[in-house]
Structure 1
Amino acid sequence: MKTLILYASVHGHTQLICERLQTQLQAMGDDVTLAALATAPALSGFDKVLIGGSIRHGKHQAALVSYMRQHQAALEQKVCGFFSVSLVARKPGKNTPTTNAYMQAFLKQIEWQPPILEVLGGRLNYPGLGTMDRNIIRFIMWMTKGPTAPDTDITFTDWDKVSALAKRFHQAR
């Protein structure tokens, strides 16, 4: 089966997760193509599609929502999955598809639900952010009892959960 992994990433962490998924799926014998959403190939050449999107300013990118809506009929004919990456997912009780508000809002926006869903923690890299974003996120982290030191660069991604997603997606038919 031919698999396509698409990603919508702002700072590159969602892409990194997708690269890890690609490596793991290839190790299981899958034929995998990885592409940014902006350069997505035609879906007709693929049996399975896994899409990852990150949260920016409290929502998924508009291009991701548009893509999912535009290609819904084709995606529904394939083994399909979606995962969301956010800093909120670092917290217990907000790290599953049913308990993560960003995932639930996204599913309402696209008006359908891919059969395979996952929520993953993202990366907090204050030095890599612009001044405004850094200050906004530091304030949010202060309110939610997260790290606020301006030199913080920490990954909240549970890589075992990524591996479990790869296995689940590989086994899906």
Structure 2
Amino acid sequence: MKILIIYGSLEGQTGKIARFMENLLQKDSHEVILANANDHPPVPNAFDALLIGSSIHFNSYNPLIKRYVNDNIEELNRRVAGFFSVSMAIVSNLQEKHQEVNQLTQQFLTDTGWHTDNVWHIEGALKFTKYDYLKKIMMRSIAQNDIGPIDINKDYEYTDWKKVKDHVSQFSNLLKTKFHGQT
């Protein structure tokens, strides 16, 4: 299968997750093209399946991802596709944070008209070494409420790589079943 993975990332964690997905799919004998939304990604026409991912910042998905989905909605709805949402809210133990992310994701899918059954919520990272001072203070304040004490002089990665691997494996198996009738 020929798969396109497009991601929108500010500090790099969504890109790191996308590269991890690319490697897993290649090991499973898929041809994969990885594209950053900033670099004018290819249109979906030449691909059997797509994975599109975006981080959430200030209760919003990457505008380039939203534009890509809007510009290619007909093709996306004709293909096997999945959306992976990367956020720190998923790390929280507070159920209302998870509900907020689910609502934000559903609103994104509704606004764009994208009909995919493959939606994954993935834990992000705190990249304090990439933040300016004001953002460090703001992110520490937000994170301390959900996570506990935070040192603004180091980065924290919360991504559950096993969960990501399980999602990608299920997606790969779905493609094999749909296109080849095998598992």
TM over 0.5: yes
Question: Which structure 2 segments of 5+ residues have no match?
Answer: 179-183
One-letter code of the match for 1:110? T
The root-mean-square deviation of aligned C-alpha atoms, in Å, is: 2.1
What corresponds to 1:158 in structure 2?
Answer: 160
What corresponds to 1:14 in structure 2?
Answer: 14
Q: Output the CA distance in 1 between the equivalents of 2:22 and 2:97.
A: 22
What corresponds to 2:117 in structure 1?
Answer: 115
Q: Output the CA distance in 2 between the equivalents of 1:155 and 1:145.
A: 12
Match of 1:60, SS? coil
Q: Output the CA distance in 1 between the equivalents of 2:125 and 2:53.
A: 14
Question: Which structure 1 segments of 5+ residues have no match?
Answer: none
One-letter code of the match for 1:131? Y
Is 2:31 the partner of 1:34?
no
Q: Which has the larger radius of gyration?
A: 2
**Percent identity over the alignment?**
28
Aligned residues: 173
One-letter code of the match for 1:105? Q
| 1:111–1:77 Cα change, 3 Å | closer
If the length of structure 2 is used for normalisation, what is the TM-score? 0.85
Per residue, is there more strand in 1 or in 2?
1
Q: Output the CA distance in 2 between the equivalents of 1:140 and 1:37.
A: 27
CA contact (8 A) 2:89 2:101 kept: no
**Segments of 4+ in structure 1 off by > 6 A?**
94-99
| 1:165–1:105 Cα change, 3 Å | same
Give a deviation string over 1:4-41, Cα, whole Å, max 9, x none: 01101111111110110010001111111111123211
